[in-house]
Amino acid sequence: MYDRLPTPYGLVRYGVAPDHPEVKNCQHKFDELSSDPRFKFYGNVYIGSPPDNDIWHSYSYPHALHIPISSLFPYYNNILLTYGASTSNPLPTTNGSSYSARPAGNVLPALAFVSWYNGHPAYAHLRPKFEDVTDATIIGHGNVAIDCARILLKSSDSLAGTDIPEPVLDVLRSSRVRHVQAVGRRGPAQVAFTTKEFREMLNLEGVEYAAIDKALMDEAKSMVEKEGDRARKRLLGLMDKGVDRRKINPSSKVFELGFLKSPAAFVPNPSTGDVNRIQWSINTLLAPPAPPPLPAPAPPIVPSMSSNVTLSSTVVARPTGEEIETSAGLVIESVGYRSENIAKNDGWALPFDQRRGRVVNDGGRIVDESGVMIPGLYAAGWVARGPVGVIASTMQNAYSIASLIISDHTSSHDAQARSQSAVLPANPKAGIPPEVERSQQRIVKLDDWRRIDEEEQKRGKLLGKPREKFTTVESMLEVLD
């Protein structure tokens, strides 16, 4: 297993919120597996090329060994790509958005904000400004948006016993945020967050949840009622428990959901350059466009809609032409993660769907432009299926792809296919690529990672928390000197 960081665990370490330690229990699976002597970990090895350089991806992993993916090929007969999604979806039509030519200050992609509060070395330098901010707006209605809202609203004291890094906690202690709004382009029936995550928002100490407009809720309820979607009905029931604004205690912090709005512009304060207003364009919901008629004769296999695709989930937002303005001193854009083609400058073309942002694969087998499998090359997790799904579904996917690799490997078809494909050999060379073997950069092997891990836990114990993470690669490598 190769990873660009000295640490394993991916988003379980750098995505899952610090106040959800039980979710991180799946790390034990890695610890269990890694005790098998046949397993090798090579951390601090960057495979392929980093995402295109922009202000959010300026970190170049300077301490890592960088090697093209093709340099692995002679040494393995199967390679599985599980490099996740390391970039964000932009808001292409919003002036002042984080990916625009002139981003307003204090407008951050959720990926950057989450990576920062989780101590990811590529974002340790980020310093969101909280001191003068009372109103924060999150764009998006997914679980990541809810994580961001919770971290902004929770008292820093209640986060102190988690593995949130101390420098992050210091910044959060300076926060004056009182009001957090999560806004989506569609209505209450279309939110993407789940019941468990939302229920937690209702139980936050010192935080009141503001009621949603009754007419909007009634419309959503009747839409969901017609579909008989009981889980969504339960969620709407919880979303309906908001407190009438006039009755909100002025000393409480407020969490609010906003609907049917798309950000047109994040407008900066001319003297600071930081966002202070949001211009919104108001939307209305429309039924999805009718699917194109089936060509005649009908194809033998008609793709079926998966059972969780309902009419309410497919309605689309259309601007009404109306605009409104709200104030916000911090904006977090939480509209999804994207995978990158890591083999862009490799001299070998990884089949990559740029539009959907994922490696082209057929049920985990990487396929070329004609849909033909490239023997020995596989993809799993977010890089294969897009940035959706929780750890449980990602693990299920991993288990099924592992079985697929084994069954392909033992099939007689494999040797024949490989003889026609020069990508991965049937009989690889022994050992690991010489670049890794003789690297000037420090390769972090399993025992090295265990030392870093122990040191983090030791530092955490002194502070009464599970671990105090190193937030720079330098400090991780110093442990190994």
Ligand X SMILES: Cc1cc2nc3c(=O)[nH]c(=O)nc-3n(C[C@H](O)[C@H](O)[C@H](O)COP(=O)(O)OP(=O)(O)OC[C@H]3O[C@@H](n4cnc5c(N)ncnc54)[C@H](O)[C@@H]3O)c2cc1C
Q: How many other C-beta atoms lie within 10 A of the C-beta of residue 286? A: 10
Where is 315: in which H helix or E strand?
none
CB of 121 to ligand X, least distance (A): 10
CB of 149 to ligand X, least distance (A): 12
113 part of the interface to ligand X, by CB under 6 A:
no
CB of 2 to ligand X, least distance (A): 5
If we measure between CA atoms, which residue out of 151, 149, 264 comes closest to residue 210? 149
CB of 176 to ligand X, least distance (A): 24
CB of 151 to ligand X, least distance (A): 10
* Choice between 265 and 343, CB closer to ligand X: 343
β-sheet bridge partners, residue 257: 182
Tokens matching residue 35: 């005790």
Pairing of strands 365-367, 373-379: antiparallel
Reduce the DSSP state of residue 24 to 3 states and report it: helix
207 part of the interface to ligand X, by CB under 6 A:
no
Which of 79, 106, 147, 448 is in the footprint of ligand X by CB under 6 A?
Answer: 147
23 part of the interface to ligand X, by CB under 6 A:
yes
Which of 72, 79, 275, 342 is in the footprint of ligand X by CB under 6 A?
Answer: 342
Residue 254 to residue 415: CA distance in whole angstroms: 62
336 part of the interface to ligand X, by CB under 6 A:
no
469 part of the interface to ligand X, by CB under 6 A:
no
Which of 72, 201, 391, 452 is in the footprint of ligand X by CB under 6 A?
Answer: 391
Residue 12 to residue 193: CA distance in whole angstroms: 18
If we measure between CA atoms, which residue out of 372, 335, 340 comes closest to residue 353? 340
Where is 94: in which H helix or E strand?
none
Please identify, among the stretches 3-11, 363-371, 413-421, 470-478, the one whose residues bind ligand X according to the rule CB under 6 A. 3-11
The interface with ligand X within residues 68-107 (CB under 6 A) comprises 82-84, 86
How many Cα atoms within 13 Å fall on the side-chain side of residue 459?
Answer: 18
Ramachandran bin of 467, using left for φ above 0, alpha for ψ from -120 to 50, beta for the remaining angles? beta
Residue pair 135/179 in contact (Cβ under 8 Å)? The answer is yes
* Choice between 46 and 99, CB closer to ligand X: 46
CB of 139 to ligand X, least distance (A): 15
2 part of the interface to ligand X, by CB under 6 A:
yes
* Choice between 190 and 341, CB closer to ligand X: 341
Residues whose CB is less than 8 angstroms from the CB of residue 151 and which lie 6 or more positions away in sequence, other chains included: 17, 18, 19, 117, 159, 172
The interface with ligand X within residues 363-382 (CB under 6 A) comprises 381-382
Residue 379 to residue 161: CA distance in whole angstroms: 37
CB of 28 to ligand X, least distance (A): 15
46 part of the interface to ligand X, by CB under 6 A:
yes
Residue 463 to residue 479: CA distance in whole angstroms: 19
* Choice between 141 and 418, CB closer to ligand X: 141
Residues in touch with ligand X (CB under 6 A): 2-5, 10-12, 15-16, 20, 23, 46-48, 82-84, 86, 114, 144, 147, 337, 342, 381-382, 389-391, 394
